[in-house]
Amino acid sequence: MRTAKKILLLLLLVAIVGGGIAYVRHKTTPVAATGTGGPGGRPAGAPAAGSPAAGGAPRMSQVTVKAATTEVADVPTFLTGLGTVTAMNTAIVRARVNGQLMKLHFTEGQEVKAGQLLAELDPRTFQVALAQAEAELGTSRATLANARADLARYRTLLQQESVASQRVDTQASLVQQLEASVKGGEAAVAAARLQLEFSRVTAPISGRVGLKQVDIGNQVSTSDANGLVIITQVQPINVVFPLPETRLPEIVTPFYAGNALKVEAWNRENSKVLATGKLASIDNQVDTTTGTFRLKAVFDNADHGLFPNQFVNARIQTGVIAQAVVAPSAAVQIGTKGSYVWVLGDDNKVKMQIVKTGPREGEKIVITEGVAGGVRVVTDGVDRLTDGIAVMLAEAPPPARTAPPPGAPRRARPAQ
């Protein structure tokens, strides 16, 4: 009996709580506005859904682009190959006699002239040899003089029939032998003097010396592979570079016609011209392993911008395209139909235009067909373009403020 009463009270309590919750929800639900409400059932004056005031996403803004105008100009055409800088002449300076190195008369990296003294070896051995050869020559000359005097006396006695003719002939033969001996002595003196001269090492060519290979006090030999130092002639200097054999007619025809073909040496990044020269020679055969032929260009190298064994990008000018249409390289895009540009009309609407391109020179490219000169083309913002839409040109950045020079009077600030 008590259990039934408890269950009944519990059910009554649940019904009272549920009714209270339903009543509260009914009172808090807003009533839709009618009559003077705005479109879509919203109250008049209420912001539209999706507007910035209502917290929604704003509409898509107009596409902003950058543009440039195509130009008409004469454009030079180039062929490019990876070249190696080579010295005009290279000489390994070696000692021509054996001896101890006593002095060096150059500084590493110094410019030297042909015949300039570079090093000295110990000369004493060669001085002794020269003195000995000169002494032997003196003895031979004295003996020859005595033999000639005897020959003169014998010829006088022969005229007086006081001596046999055989004796005169024998003495004449002796004089000839002594004359030959004197000539041999003179040659020995010249050889000894030459050896003494070789103890002074001179520059065989003009150029720049490298790092020394031997220190003072060391024994040097004529068979030393490294020599004393290496001299390279770097003014003028050469650049050797290959080109594909298919481009051979573009080079050979004007070169053998006597035209001077301009060659530029650029750094490895193609960002700076190191030197400007001209084509000097063309190799006499094509390398069958690579399908290329080699060319040699010569440069004055007055500023020493090129070094032997340096790698450069060699560009040779093969001709000029007269009155070519030139556009920024950024304006040309590649699609399924080929190259195209976005042409910007007077009404700031864009139109896709298929074009054909020619050589590229730095940040410029030649357009051979599709666009004329003086046409505006889009260079930035092309990824959001569709044919026929209106665009907005990006404004040029404001000029940078420059600080007043030191000591200049400051402009007075207006009173508030």
The CATH number that applies at residue 195 is 2.40.50.100
The answer to whether residue 377 is domain-embedded is yes
Domain identity same for 212 and 168: yes
Q: Could you give the angle at the alpha carbon of 214 between the alpha carbons of 208 and 218, nearest 5°?
A: 150
The tens digit of pLDDT for each residue in 363-396 reads 889 998 989 989 999 999 888 888 889 888 886 5
Residue 337's pLDDT is 85
The tens digit of pLDDT for each residue in 207-221 reads 999 999 999 999 999
- The whole-angstrom separation of Cα 191 and Cα 305 is 44
Residue 212's pLDDT is 94
Domain identity same for 160 and 171: yes
Amino acid at 11: L
The answer to whether residue 101 is domain-embedded is yes
Mean pLDDT score across all residues of the chain: 84
For residue 114, report the phi and psi dihedrals to the nearest 5 degrees. Answer: -60, 135
How many Cβ atoms from other residues are within 10 Å of residue 198's Cβ?
18
Given a contact cutoff of 8 angstroms between Cβ atoms, the answer to whether 231 and 205 are in contact is yes
The answer to whether residue 30 is domain-embedded is no
The answer to whether residue 413 is domain-embedded is no
Residue 115: closest CA among 26, 39, 20, 197? 197
For residue 180, the surrounding DSSP H or E stretch is: helix 165-198
Domain identity same for 357 and 262: no
% of the chain beyond a pLDDT of 90: 56
Taking residues 227-232, what's their average pLDDT? 95
Residue 112's pLDDT is 95
Domain identity same for 361 and 371: yes
Taking residues 262-275, what's their average pLDDT? 92
Residue 310's pLDDT is 94
The tens digit of pLDDT for each residue in 295-331 reads 999 999 999 899 999 999 999 988 888 889 999 999 9
Domain count of the fold of the chain:
3
Whether pLDDT at 197 is above 90? yes
292-302 core/surface letters (b: 16 or more CB in 10 A; e: else) = bbbbbbbbebe
The tens digit of pLDDT for each residue in 30-82 reads 444 444 444 444 444 444 444 444 444 444 457 889 999 999 988 888 899 99
Given a contact cutoff of 8 angstroms between Cβ atoms, the answer to whether 368 and 75 are in contact is no
Helix 165-198, helix 124-159: angle, nearest 10: 160
Domain identity same for 306 and 346: no
Residue 20's pLDDT is 62
pTM: 0.62
Domain identity same for 250 and 290: yes
The answer to whether residue 64 is domain-embedded is no
Residue 156's pLDDT is 85
Domain identity same for 256 and 271: yes
Residue 326: closest CA among 337, 316, 341, 313? 341
- The whole-angstrom separation of Cα 382 and Cα 350 is 10
The answer to whether residue 67 is domain-embedded is no
Binned at pLDDT 50, 70 and 90, residue 412 comes out as: very low
pLDDT: is 23 or 43 the higher one? 23
Residue 63's pLDDT is 86
The CATH number that applies at residue 348 is 2.40.420.20
Lowest mean pLDDT segment, chosen from 36-50, 134-148, 252-266: 36-50
Domain identity same for 252 and 181: no
- The whole-angstrom separation of Cα 185 and Cα 221 is 27
Whether pLDDT at 119 is above 70? yes
Residue 61's pLDDT is 59
Domain identity same for 315 and 326: no
Q: What are the residues whose beta carbons fall under 8 Å from the beta carbon of 109, sequence distance 6 or more?
A: 208, 209, 210
The answer to whether residue 410 is domain-embedded is no
Domain identity same for 316 and 327: no
Residue 26's pLDDT is 53
Given a contact cutoff of 8 angstroms between Cβ atoms, the answer to whether 220 and 98 are in contact is yes
Which of 220, 241, 261 is a domain's end point? Answer: 220
Residue 14's pLDDT is 67
- The whole-angstrom separation of Cα 174 and Cα 150 is 10
Domain identity same for 214 and 96: yes
How many Cβ atoms from other residues are within 10 Å of residue 96's Cβ?
13
- The whole-angstrom separation of Cα 313 and Cα 292 is 16
Residue 57's pLDDT is 41
- The whole-angstrom separation of Cα 136 and Cα 115 is 32
Given a contact cutoff of 8 angstroms between Cβ atoms, the answer to whether 132 and 170 are in contact is no
Domain identity same for 215 and 94: yes
- The whole-angstrom separation of Cα 148 and Cα 48 is 139
Taking residues 176-199, what's their average pLDDT? 95
Beta pairing class for 350-354 and 392-393: unpaired
Residue with tokens 């053998």: 256
Residue 394: DSSP 8-state: P
For residue 103, the surrounding DSSP H or E stretch is: strand 99-104
Taking residues 104-132, what's their average pLDDT? 95
* Boundaries of domain holding 261: 81-87+232-320
The CATH number that applies at residue 307 is 2.40.30.170
The answer to whether residue 26 is domain-embedded is no
- The whole-angstrom separation of Cα 140 and Cα 133 is 11
Q: What are the residues whose beta carbons fall under 8 Å from the beta carbon of 52, sequence distance 6 or more?
A: 58
Which of 320, 346, 371 is a domain's end point? Answer: 320
Which of 180, 197, 220 is a domain's end point? Answer: 220
Q: Residue 18: exposed, middle, or buried by beta-carbon count in 10 A (0-12, 13-18, 19+)?
A: exposed
